[in-house]
Amino acid sequence: MRLLSSDEMKQVEQYTAKYGLSYQRMMENAGAACARNIRNIVENDSASRRNAVIVCGKGNNGGDGFVVARKLNENGYNVTVILACGYPDSPESTYMYKLVIDSSIPTVWYDADRLKAMQIIKNADIVVDAIFGFSFYGSISDDLKLLIKEMNNANGIRFAIDVPSGVYCDSGYNDPGCFNADYTIAISALKPAHIIHPATDFCGDIIIANIGIPEESYNLVKDSLYTYNKTEVGHLFPDRKTDAHKGSFGHLLCICGSKCMAGAPVLCASAALRSGAGLVTVAFPESAYLPVATKLTEALLMPLAETEEGTLSASCLEKLIPALSKYDGIVIGPGLGVNDDTAAVVKAVLENAKVPVIVDADGINIIAKDIDILRNAKSKVVLTPHPKEMSRLAGTPTEIIQSDRIGWARKFASDNGVYLVLKGSHTVVSEPDSKRTYVNASGNNGLSKGGSGDVLTGIIGGFAVQDFGLVEAITAAVYVHGHVADVVADNLSKSGMLPSDVVSELASTLSAFEK
């Protein structure tokens, strides 16, 4: 499923205008579709909700609002329009405002009569935000913050047209004074703000309104942002042939763990096995043998030389490097520890591996200290940082990373030639050429526990050694990880669920995807 940025949406509209559907017609269709959706929701909730206030800006989002006002008025609603920013300034919105006046719909100018505007909002059953839309940037003025605060405090059902005012369409950032909708009616397509935290928190339930834009217009715009639903992920799964054997489903090497973090290789390898990998070998410090061997009955074990602290020793490379050619994919990093020896191991693996290498946790922290490790890698590299690890990689404060997760994922992937999986609420996956970026819609905050990243890394590795393409393996794994966590949360609880519960649930939940 495609996601359209603000620039891409403008391109779609430009192409559509060339196909013969004018901007004015698109605005009419958009407002009419929004009004229909508002009526469906309101009348299902309570037929007595008839007082509507439409708060309009001066741009095209305001124009959509003028059409909403007229259509609700035609259907017997008591409608008032509030001009939040003065007279409309685009030809289309000016025309739609004239139709509002011709329909004798009461209009209040916020600048001229604030008390009246506030009182109307307070008494409304339906509050429609049509102030800014997807073109908002900068910050909300103090005057408008007061107006939006009144809209947020209203007792009526709150609707946003396309994007809540004060929310950045493309990055997911929001002005602290933004509109907080119960429902957001997305015009034509989902935008990044509809599924990226924190913006999505202010969207409420999201409805997509079809306004008659032809498929040709979408096809002319590069498909740079996308997300998946369950059905789409199912199409990514390769067929499992009836005459297959364990070698048909790949061999994954997991280089994980230390004396004090013996759970990491267990979670990672278990997730890989439950994800369908035919064979999984776990390489770990020899002092972790007992806890690892006790928990992993189906994996092959490769205990390696260790340091006095119980982490992998650089001397283990004599055994490890010659063995790399046996595997179809490699995971490295979970529970590894950060020191000179483990840094030597990560560097050597990336310099010698000829198959995809998925780097997580301490592997990422090691790379953050020496980014040139990536430039010397001989294989495709997948990095799976959480926001704080991404901050270390990029040398940028976490809050800056979080303010534009898509932008930072794209930049780092492009600059360093890696596949970047920026974890967190709505994980972002960007390819090395940054032509396409995936934004995940599954998952919940029950995954906010140590070990969840080890599980995700194992699933990515498990898929990567099968007959998925690498991008398909990564994006499918991210979705499945979140989806399984949603199932676990429903069965148990978000507070009480554990990463091991997600591993256990993988076995049954994957039946909905496999062919």
Say whether 109 sits in a helix, a strand or coil.
strand
Domain boundary residue among 180, 195, 226?
226
- What pLDDT, on the 0 to 100 scale, is given for residue 223? 67
Share of the chain above pLDDT 90, in %: 89
Q: Beta strand pairing status for 300-304 and 225-226?
A: unpaired
Task: Note whether 321 and 464 are same-domain residues.
Answer: yes
Cα 280 to Cα 298: distance, rounded to the nearest angstrom? 8
Local structure of residue 2 (DSSP, 8 states)? E
Cα-only R_g, the chain: 26
Cα 460 to Cα 231: distance, rounded to the nearest angstrom? 19
Burial code of 230-254, b = ≥16 C-beta within 10 A, e = fewer?
eeebeebbbeeeeeeeeeebbbbbb
Q: Beta strand pairing status for 126-130 and 51-56?
A: parallel
Lowest mean pLDDT among 18-22, 33-37, 62-66, 429-433: 18-22
Question: Is 299 inside a domain boundary?
Answer: yes
What residues contact residue 164 under an 8 Å CB cut-off, 6+ apart?
129, 174, 178, 179, 180, 181, 184, 199, 202, 203
Task: Note whether 184 and 273 are same-domain residues.
Answer: no
List 128's β-bridge partners, or say none: 54, 159
Task: Note whether 68 and 6 are same-domain residues.
Answer: yes
354 and 383 Cβ atoms separated by less than 8 Å:
no
pLDDT tens per residue, range 160-169: 999 999 999 9
Task: Note whether 164 and 257 are same-domain residues.
Answer: no
Task: Note whether 468 and 319 are same-domain residues.
Answer: yes
CA-based angle 176:182:188, to the nearest 5? 95
pLDDT tens per residue, range 269-322: 999 999 999 999 999 999 999 999 999 999 999 999 999 999 999 999 999 999
Res. 46: pLDDT tops 70: no
Task: Note whether 173 and 260 are same-domain residues.
Answer: no
Q: What share of the chain is helix, strand, coil (3-state, %, to 5)?
A: 50, 15, 35
Question: Is 383 inside a domain boundary?
Answer: no
Local structure of residue 229 (DSSP, 8 states)? -
pTM of the model: 0.88
Res. 45: pLDDT tops 80: no
pLDDT tens per residue, range 104-146: 999 999 999 999 999 999 999 999 999 998 989 889 999 999 9
Question: Is 466 inside a domain boundary?
Answer: yes
Task: Note whether 214 and 354 are same-domain residues.
Answer: no
pLDDT tens per residue, range 168-195: 998 878 999 999 999 999 999 999 999 8
- What pLDDT, on the 0 to 100 scale, is given for residue 441? 92
List 429's β-bridge partners, or say none: 421, 438
Averaging pLDDT over each range in 211-220, 364-373, 396-405, which range is the top one? 364-373
Question: Is 28 inside a domain boundary?
Answer: yes
Kindly report the CATH number assigned to the domain that includes residue 107. 3.40.50.10260
Question: Is 380 inside a domain boundary?
Answer: no
Cα 90 to Cα 238: distance, rounded to the nearest angstrom? 50
Q: How far apart are the first and last CA of the chain?
A: 21
Kindly report the CATH number assigned to the domain that includes residue 305. 3.40.1190.20
Say whether 73 sits in a helix, a strand or coil.
helix
Task: Note whether 210 and 337 are same-domain residues.
Answer: no
Question: Is 394 inside a domain boundary?
Answer: no
- What pLDDT, on the 0 to 100 scale, is given for residue 47? 61
Average pLDDT, the chain: 95
Task: Note whether 287 and 348 are same-domain residues.
Answer: yes
Task: Note whether 267 and 360 are same-domain residues.
Answer: yes
Structural domain range at position 170: 2-226
Question: Is 427 inside a domain boundary?
Answer: no
Question: Is 395 inside a domain boundary?
Answer: no
Counting the structural domains of the chain, the total is 2
Res. 472: pLDDT tops 80: yes
Cα 285 to Cα 334: distance, rounded to the nearest angstrom? 13
Task: Note whether 215 and 258 are same-domain residues.
Answer: no
pLDDT tens per residue, range 115-124: 999 999 999 9
159 and 184 Cβ atoms separated by less than 8 Å:
yes
Closest CA to 429 of 400, 449, 408, 444: 408
Report helix angle 91-102 to 23-45, nearest 10.
Answer: 50
**Sequence-distant contacts of 242-250: CB under 8 A, at least 24 apart:** 245/278, 246/278, 246/279, 247/278, 247/279, 248/278, 249/276, 249/277, 249/278, 249/279, 249/465, 249/466, 250/277, 250/278, 250/279, 250/328, 250/329, 250/464, 250/465, 250/466
25: buried, middle or exposed (CB in 10 Å: 19+, 13-18, 0-12)?
Answer: middle
Sign of CA dihedral 126, 130, 136, 139: negative
Task: Note whether 30 and 104 are same-domain residues.
Answer: yes
